[in-house]
Structure 1
Amino acid sequence: MVTHGPTVRAIAAHAGVSIATVSRVLNDQEHVSPATRELVQQAIGELGGRGPRRRPARAGAVFLRCPYVLTDYFGLIVSSIAETLDLHGRQVVLNAGEAAQHNRVLPTLPTRPGIGGAIVVLPPEPGDELIALQAAGFPFVIVDPREDVPRDIAAVSASHFAGSRSLTAHLTGLGHRRIGLLAGPDNWLAGNARRAGHVSALADAGMLLDPGLVVAGEPTVRFGFEAARQLLSEPDRPTALVAFNDKVASGAMAAADRLGLRVPEDLSIAGFDDIDLAQATRPPLTTVRQPLAEMGRIAVGLLVRLLDHHRLDALHVELATELIIRESTGPARR
C-alpha cells in the first residue's frame, strides 16, 4: 500500500481509473493491462507517493520430487535443477527413487516445516492432487508433465510433437513407407504428443497410420526388444522403427541383431532423448535431442519467480528439440 503519500482515491482520480484498479496495481495483482499499470504508477510518482510494497521472497528449501531411478534422463534433469538452485542460494530436499512413487507426498508439502516450494519431475500423481496443491497457494513447477495440467500451473517440457514429426519426416524422406512405432504408455502426455507428430509426418507423405505397426508399452530396453521382435517377425515387416526413447531403440537394435537384420541396410531404427546410450549403440543412434539440462534450469527460474511473488504470464514453456542424424538410419531397402 502507499504510505505517507496520496490516498488511493487521489491516485484513482489523477490516473482516471477506478479505486479497485489502483488497489490491484498496489498489491501487484493480475488482471491489469500493462498500459493501465503504467498509468497508475505514473500517477503515484507525480503525486509523490510510493509504488506497491513488494513482499519478501518465500523462504525455505526446495522440495525436488523425482520418483524414478536417477540415471540417464532423470539424472541429467535433477543434476541441472540442483546446480541451478545452488546458484540461487536455495537448499534442496531430494525425494527420488521408484519406491517414492508409492508415497503421497504432494498433499503434505504446504505444511512441511522449512519447505518454500517444489519442483516435481514427471509426477505420477493424479491431476487433482496437483490442482489441490496449486489451490493451496503452494508454489511449484512441473518438469515434463505426465498428463495435461491447467494453464495456471507452471510447467516445462520439450516440444514432443515437433521432435517426433521431424524424426518421422526424416525417415519418409529416405523412402520408408512401412514405419513401425514403438510407442510409450497411452496415458502419457509425451507419448500422445509424439504419436501425433508421427501421424502428422506420415500424412505429409500421403500415408495413414497403420494400427498394426504400433506397439505401446513401458519405455524400457526389454519392451523395445519384445515389441521390435513382434513387428519384425511379421511377413510384411516394417523397414524402419521409431522408438519412444533411446532405451527402447537399443532394445529394438538387439532384436534386429537376433533376427539377423543389419542396421541400417535392412532396417532403420531411431530413438528420442539423445542420452549417452544413443552414441554407445552400434551403429550410433539417430534420435531427437531434448534439452534436458535447460529444462531443469528453466524450471528453477520459474520457481524462483513464484517464490519472489512475481506474476508469470507464460506458465507452460515448451523447449525446442533437435533432430540428430547418425548411422542407424538409411534409405529404405527396395
Structure 2
Amino acid sequence: MHVLTNHAIGSEDGQADMTPGKRTRVTLRDVAEWAGVSTTTASFVLSGRRDMRISAETEERVFQAARTLDYRRRLVPRTPLPPGAPAIGVISDVVAGGHFAGEMLRGCVAAAADHGHVVLMADSEDMDALESSAVRALLGQGVHKFVYATMATVVHTVPQVLRGQRLVTVNNVDPTLGVPAIIPDDTRAGEDAARALAEAGHTTGIWLVGQVLPRAVAAGRRLTGVKAGLRAAGLRLAGHVRCGWWPDETRRALSGLFSAGWWERDRPTAVIAMNDRAAMGVYQAAAEAGHHVPGDLSVISFDNSDLARWLHPALSSMDLPYFDLGRRAVELLLTERAEPRVHKLPMELRARASVAHR
C-alpha cells in the first residue's frame, strides 16, 4: 500500500532550473509574465476555474509556461494543519502512476486542504485483496471518509469493506450503491468533437479510429456522442477503424488501409481518434503515406495529454478534467447530504493546429 499525505504532494510554490546550475523558486507571477497574462488569469487557468472568460489560446500559453518553468501549484495551506487533522482516504487501482492519476490526486489534495483535511492514499494495483487490506488499514487509523477512484471509466462494484462508509466514487459507477459518482461527460465530448469538425467545414469523409470494447464505458459514450453530434449537423460517420488505442496498432491499421487504396477510394478528410495515443498513430500512418496533418487529413482526439502538445502539428483534443474530478469528489464528500447521483464534468476542447478549415 502506497500512502501519501498532502505534504507528499509538495507545499512550495515551485522549484525549477531557471538557469543552468541555479535552483530558483518559480512563482505564479513568473508563469504569468512568461505567458504574457495577469497573475489573476494565470491563477484561474491553473486552478481549473471556468467562471472567467479566457480564450483557448491564452490557456495554452499559461499551461505551456507552467510546464516550461516546471511550476508546481501550492496545494496545502501556508498555515500548518493542526495535529490530528481529519483525514480522507483515497483508494484507487493505479492512481500512483501517470500524469492523469497524479492530477486526480492533486485535485483531491487541493480540496482537502481547503477544508482542513489531509489525504491518505492507497494504491491497490487492481488487486482485490490488497484493496480490502488497504481500506482496513485506513479504517484502523480512524479514516471514515473515502474517495474510490479508477483510472478508466467503468461500471464497477465497490468493495464490500467500503460499504457503509462515507463515500464518493470517481470515474466509476456502482449501480448497487447510492452514493455520489463523478465521471467525465464523454458523450458530450464526442458531440463537441464532431461539432468542431462540422464547424470547420468537414461534411464528408469523417472516420472514427479506435475499438469500442464492452467494458470500455468511455469509448462507448464517445462513439454515441460522435454519432449524435454528426447527426445534429446532418452528417454521418464515413467509417470506423476498430483497432487498439496505441500508436503502433493504429499506425498498422491505417497503413493497411492506405495501402489498400483508402485515400483514393474513400477520400477521408478527418479522423476522430479515441485518445491521443491513437491520434499519434494516425499522424504516423498519414506521414508514411505521404499525407499531411491537417492539410490532407484533420485529426481530433480525446484526453488532452502532454502528447497532444508535443505532436507536430499540435493536436486538438478534448480535455480529461482529472484535477477537477478529484477536487469535486472531495467537495462532495465533505458536503452534508450530497445528492447520490452521477455528476458529469465537461471535457473542454483544446483547439490546436490539427484541424483544417475547409
Give TM-score scaled by structure 2 length. 0.64
Q: Which residue number corresponds to residue 256 of structure 1?
A: 286
CA shift at 1:329, angstroms? 0.9
The number of equivalent residue pairs is 265
For residues 64-93 of structure 1, what are the alpha-carbon distances to aligned partners after superposition, in whole Å with 9 as ceiling and x for unaligned? 324156323222212222233233343333
Q: 2:107 aligned with 1:80, yes or no? A: yes
Q: 2:134 aligned with 1:102, yes or no? A: no
1:64 and 1:94 in contact (8 A); partners too: yes
Q: Which residue number corresponds to residue 12 of structure 1?
A: none
In 1: Cα distance, 2:309 partner to 2:300 partner: 12
CA shift at 1:125, angstroms? 11
Letter matched to residue 184 of structure 2: A
Of 168, 178, 184, which aligns to 1:158?
184
Q: 2:208 aligned with 1:181, yes or no? A: yes
Mean CA deviation greater in 105-114 or 71-80: 105-114
2:182 and 2:329 in contact (8 A); partners too: yes
Cα separation, partners in 2 of 1:226 and 1:163, compared to 1, 3 Å: same
Determine which structure has the larger strand proportion and give its number.
Answer: 2
Instruction: Name structure 1 gaps, 5 residues minimum.
Output: 1-57
In 2: Cα distance, 1:242 partner to 1:277 partner: 16
Q: 2:350 aligned with 1:320, yes or no? A: no
Letter matched to residue 102 of structure 1: M
Q: Which residue number corresponds to residue 82 of structure 2?
A: none
In 2: Cα distance, 1:123 partner to 1:60 partner: 22
Q: Which residue number corresponds to residue 273 of structure 1?
A: 303
SS of 1:130's equivalent?
coil
For residues 198-239 of structure 1, what are the alpha-carbon distances to aligned partners after superposition, in whole Å with 9 as ceiling and x for unaligned? 1112222434445x523143x433344334434444423432
Letter matched to residue 354 of structure 2: S
Give TM-score scaled by structure 1 length. 0.68
In 2: Cα distance, 1:118 partner to 1:196 partner: 32
Give percent identity, aligned residues only: 23
Letter matched to residue 104 of structure 1: A
Task: Within 5 Å, give how 1:226-237 maps onto structure 2.
Answer: 226-237=252-263
In 2: Cα distance, 1:168 partner to 1:118 partner: 37
Q: Which residue number corresponds to residue 195 of structure 1?
A: 223
Letter matched to residue 166 of structure 2: P
2:247 and 2:277 in contact (8 A); partners too: yes
Instruction: Name structure 2 gaps, 5 residues minimum.
Output: 1-84
For residues 130-166 of structure 1, what are the alpha-carbon distances to aligned partners after superposition, in whole Å with 9 as ceiling and x for unaligned? 17456x3022222222x66457222112221111111
In 1: Cα distance, 2:121 partner to 2:212 partner: 26
For residues 240-274 of structure 1, what are the alpha-carbon distances to aligned partners after superposition, in whole Å with 9 as ceiling and x for unaligned? 11111222212321222222210011111111122
In 2: Cα distance, 1:225 partner to 1:250 partner: 8
Instruction: State the structure with more CA Rg.
Output: 1
2:243 and 2:250 in contact (8 A); partners too: no
Q: 2:98 aligned with 1:71, yes or no? A: yes
Letter matched to residue 126 of structure 2: Q
SS of 2:187's equivalent?
helix
In 2: Cα distance, 1:125 partner to 1:287 partner: 18
2:180 and 2:339 in contact (8 A); partners too: no
Q: Which residue number corresponds to residue 39 of structure 1?
A: none
Cα separation, partners in 2 of 1:285 and 1:227, compared to 1, 3 Å: same
Mean CA deviation greater in 67-76 or 117-126: 117-126
For residues 27-86 of structure 1, what are the alpha-carbon distances to aligned partners after superposition, in whole Å with 9 as ceiling and x for unaligned? xxxxxxxxxxxxxxxxxxxxxxxxxxxxxxx95541332415632322221222223323
In 2: Cα distance, 1:318 partner to 1:246 partner: 21
What is the RMSD computed on CA atoms of the aligned residues?
3.0
Task: Within 5 Å, give how 1:205-216 maps onto structure 2.
Answer: 205-209=233-237, 212-216=239-243
Of 123, 127, 146, which aligns to 1:118?
146
